[in-house]
Amino acid sequence: MMECFPRAGKKNRRVAGCLRRAAKALQFVPMKFVLAILVFLAFAFFISWGVLLTLQGQPWLLAASLAVFLGSFIRFGCQSH
């Protein structure tokens, strides 16, 4: 991020380039948000279905969906930004 600030005596071309790169990086942020919501809803669906199957004596879907959810949460949710 420090390379985005111009040094003394430099033109503002560096700032304009950084702003263009930032705008390009933020272009797909709403799509990532929508995909994150869809993935969360899919996890909720399979965990809920697993709870219903567990009530009937078949806990395999609950165990599998919780393992995938916790694994993905640990993998992606605990990353340093």
Per-residue pLDDT of the chain (81 residues), as tens digits, is 445 554 544 556 666 777 677 767 666 667 778 888 999 999 999 999 999 999 999 999 999 999 999 998 888 877 765
Task: Establish how many alpha carbons lie within 13 A of residue 61's alpha carbon, considering only the half-sphere containing its beta carbon.
Answer: 16
> What pLDDT was estimated at residue 60?
96
pTM confidence score: 0.59
Look up residue 57 and give its two tokens: 């004596």
What are the angstrom distances between the C-alpha of 76 and each of 36, 45, 46, 65, 72?
11, 20, 19, 16, 6
d(CA 49, CA 67): 14
What is residue 61's predicted lDDT score, i.e. its pLDDT?
A: 95
Q: What is the pLDDT of residue 54?
A: 96
